[in-house]
Amino acid sequence: MEKVKIFDTTLRDGEQTPRVSLNVSDKIQIAKQLERLGVDIIEAGFPISSDGDFEAVKAVSEAVENVTVCALARCNKKDIDRAAEALQNAKHPRIHVFIATSDIHLEYKLKMSKEQCVNKAVEMVKYAKSLVDDIQFSAEDASRSNPDFLVEIFEKVIEAGATTINVPDTVGYAQNEEYYNLIDYVIKNTKNSDKVTFSVHCHDDLGIATANALAGVKAGARQIECTINGIGERAGNSSLEEVAMILDTRANYYNVSTNIDTTQIYKTSKLISAITGVSIAKNKSVVGENCFLHESGIHQDGILKNRETYEIMNPDKIGIPKSDGLILGKHSGRHAFVAFLKHHGFEMSEEEINENFIKFKELTDSKKYVTIDDITSLVGRLPYNENYKFHSYTSSNNNDGTATVYLNISHGDNLITKRAVGNGQVDAAFKALNSIVKRDIEVLNFEINAVSSLSDALGEAKVKLKLDDQEISTSGLDLDIIKASILAYVQGINKFGI
């Protein structure tokens, strides 16, 4: 079977999800998991857009070994220079240059003729090629561009040195057959198309991003650009887990394969949800909570007789953990903890194991038995630099419907106690924290979810915070949902670098 490359843009297009902001530590953690997942290319960011994005691309380049690291750049020298500088330590660097090609973008956004567009694209691909050998060229809004103009510009950028040609459905406009025909047309009519890889990048504005991406594969594309959980600009992108499992489950139909280790899908999905604060819908395909649940009596009867009657995927295939009889609790030692991690496919350094074992022992002080779901959520949370640390809190409800919280937080060697009143315990705790750090942090979104369906399930608090012009997503995990909320907020304070 031919291979289809998986180009993951969670760290770039995925970060453009409204109210999602990833710092350097987030991006390193995600990049390492994407490498374990087996993606071929990680688009780590848009270096010219901010110093933070530049540092993140630089850090990701140094953190991974066996995957191409890509940086985005518009067709101008400043963008390309910044991208090349960020990639200077990457083992396998790629610069991704783009320019819009549709009439509406040329007229209103770029104010440029088609001839000027082609000349600029060729000039900048040549320039990028002088800095990095692996060059990807994207025709922004290709699905609304003239196909013959695409052929013209593709031929010339291939001659200029482009190695990958991306044909994006930037606004999620194309229909399945239209997109198939477009990819088929440009591949068949572009001179030297056999010397490059054609790529598809589809948005989900009309709900068919993954279907369009796969139509592109049927037409001859051999790279798919996608994100974990389908996050991204507006309605998001083609979902990596959907793409990977479609090509795996229906390999006989598409006759292609990928390098994705599907057993890493579930852990990657949970990690992205925890870091970005974007919850996974229960009915989300492949990784949603309901995917392998059956309530209908007819379905239950079929499943009991043979799971394949109503399940086309095995949950083991995507790494959903199941009980193996090994129970972890207060008296479990490090050896049992390591055995548990190994059995369920968690790959960690000694330092990461030690950090997570400490968190595990803290959890067992308040929870008699730790479930697989608990561990899956727990080990996805590596610590941040902790300028501020949570110690304890007490709370009480007032007669007027408000709540009072006393919060103990350490800053260096100092233990700080603050009292605050709010519309509930969480609101009061957040006000106390703002008082401690003397900053007006704004809560943009707050939600709490149970990690499992058990009565003693851990509570996961997800908070989106804003300070000045910076927005971040954080999460906290504890049996006590108030404490989980406080932990999430404290993590946010530390991520802001206060």
Whether 341 maps to a domain, the answer reads: yes
Among 311, 338, 371, residue at a domain's last position: 371
Select the more confidently predicted residue: 346 or 239: 239
- Based on the structure, what is the number of domains in the chain? 4
Whether 380 maps to a domain, the answer reads: no
Confidence of residue 203 (pLDDT cuts 50, 70, 90): very high
The answer on pLDDT for 70 being more than 70 is yes
pLDDT tens digits, 143-164: 999 999 999 999 999 999 999 9
Confidence of residue 320 (pLDDT cuts 50, 70, 90): confident
The answer on pLDDT for 88 being more than 90 is yes
The answer on pLDDT for 328 being more than 80 is no
pLDDT tens digits, 340-364: 777 666 777 888 888 888 888 877 7
Q: What percent of the chain has pLDDT over 90?
A: 66
Whether 378 maps to a domain, the answer reads: no
Whether 284 maps to a domain, the answer reads: no
Residues 169 and 104 in one domain: yes
pLDDT at 298: 73
The answer on pLDDT for 368 being more than 60 is yes
Confidence of residue 86 (pLDDT cuts 50, 70, 90): very high
pLDDT tens digits, 167-193: 999 999 999 999 999 999 999 999 999
Residues 305 and 328 in one domain: no
pLDDT at 455: 61
pLDDT at 476: 87
The answer on pLDDT for 366 being more than 80 is no
Confidence of residue 313 (pLDDT cuts 50, 70, 90): confident
pLDDT at 327: 61
Across 75-102, average pLDDT: 98
- β-pairing verdict for 328-329 and 369-370: antiparallel
pLDDT at 393: 96
Residues 159 and 202 in one domain: yes
Distance from C-alpha of 404 to C-alpha of 76, rounded to nearest angstrom: 56
Across 422-450, average pLDDT: 93
* CATH number for position 396: 3.30.160.270
The answer on pLDDT for 324 being more than 60 is no
Q: What angle do CA 483, 383, 409 make, to 5 degrees?
A: 45
Select the more confidently predicted residue: 30 or 469: 30
Whether 379 maps to a domain, the answer reads: no
Select the more confidently predicted residue: 315 or 40: 40
Burial class (CB in 10 A: 0-12, 13-18, 19+), 354: exposed
Whether 223 maps to a domain, the answer reads: yes
- β-pairing verdict for 414-422 and 403-411: antiparallel
Residues 96 and 223 in one domain: yes
pLDDT tens digits, 378-422: 766 555 667 899 999 999 999 998 999 999 999 988 999 999 999
Across 304-311, average pLDDT: 78
Across 232-246, average pLDDT: 97
pLDDT tens digits, 455-497: 667 888 989 899 998 888 888 888 899 999 999 999 899 988 8
Residues 299 and 326 in one domain: no
Residues 15 and 108 in one domain: yes
Residues 352 and 403 in one domain: no
Distance from C-alpha of 221 to C-alpha of 394, rounded to nearest angstrom: 59
Residue 462 carries which side chain, given as an amino acid letter?
K
The answer on pLDDT for 250 being more than 60 is yes
Strand segments (E) across 30-114: 41-45, 68-74, 93-100
What three-state secondary structure class fits 231?
coil
Whether 281 maps to a domain, the answer reads: no
pLDDT at 294: 66
Which residues have C-beta within 8 Å of that of residue 224, sequence separation ≥ 6?
4, 5, 6, 7, 199, 200, 213, 216, 217, 238, 243
pLDDT at 394: 95
Strand segments (E) across 322-412: 328-329, 369-370, 388-397, 403-411
The answer on pLDDT for 127 being more than 90 is yes
Please, which residues bridge with residue 226 across strands?
8
pLDDT at 150: 98
Residues 220 and 299 in one domain: no
Q: Which domain holds residue 331?
A: 321-371
Distance from C-alpha of 50 to C-alpha of 265, rounded to nearest angstrom: 30
Residues 127 and 173 in one domain: yes
Q: What is the DSSP letter of 451?
A: S
Q: What is the pTM of this model?
A: 0.79
Instruction: Kindly state the helix (H) or strand (E) to which residue 167 belongs, with its residue range.
Output: strand 164-169
Distance from C-alpha of 261 to C-alpha of 251, rounded to nearest angstrom: 15
Burial class (CB in 10 A: 0-12, 13-18, 19+), 7: buried
Q: What percent of the chain has pLDDT over 70?
A: 92
Whether 87 maps to a domain, the answer reads: yes
Residues 354 and 250 in one domain: no
Mean pLDDT, all residues of the chain = 90
Of the candidates 291, 287, 289, the residue with the CA atom closest to the CA atom of residue 241: 287
Residues 416 and 348 in one domain: no
The answer on pLDDT for 451 being more than 80 is no
Residues 349 and 224 in one domain: no
pLDDT tens digits, 34-43: 999 999 999 9
Cα separations (Å) of 201 from 113, 134, 182, 186, 218? 25, 18, 13, 15, 14
